[in-house]
Structure 1
Amino acid sequence: SRKTTPFYDPQDYSKSVAGMKIIPLQTSELKKIVSNRKTYKELYPLFEEAFNSNLPPHEWYEKCIVI
């Protein structure tokens, strides 16, 4: 829901952003990223593709995120 929910500035509700690019990761995926010394440059395209995926939530993580 972070993808589609607007987020408002608590100081000024006339200011908002249309959504956030927040990708959840399990500890196991973070361990793989660190142990394989993955860089932001390598990971960003993977996360961008996952963020733009239209898969239902129950399929999304396994098909888009598991490294």
Structure 2
Amino acid sequence: MGEYDTAREHCQAALALFENQQDVDGQAQTLDSLGYIDHHSGRHHDAIRHHRQAISLYRDRDRDDA
């Protein structure tokens, strides 16, 4: 709905909670959301950083499951 600043604040709060709980899936999903928000609000370098962090967490999780 275009309220990227509000969405970013909520995602940052969620990310802190997921990190505190060591919830890797929650962290990865939230980082992906932050990347989406950053991309659509013109913060492309931040979007790339967040997406890379999400991918790294997903890869680590998949490696641990193998």
Same fold (TM over 0.5): no
Compute the TM-score of the two structures, normalised by the length of structure 2: 0.29
Determine which structure has the larger helix proportion and give its number.
2
Compute the TM-score of the two structures, normalised by the length of structure 1: 0.28
Higher relative CO (CA 8 A, sep ≥ 6), structure 1 or 2? 2
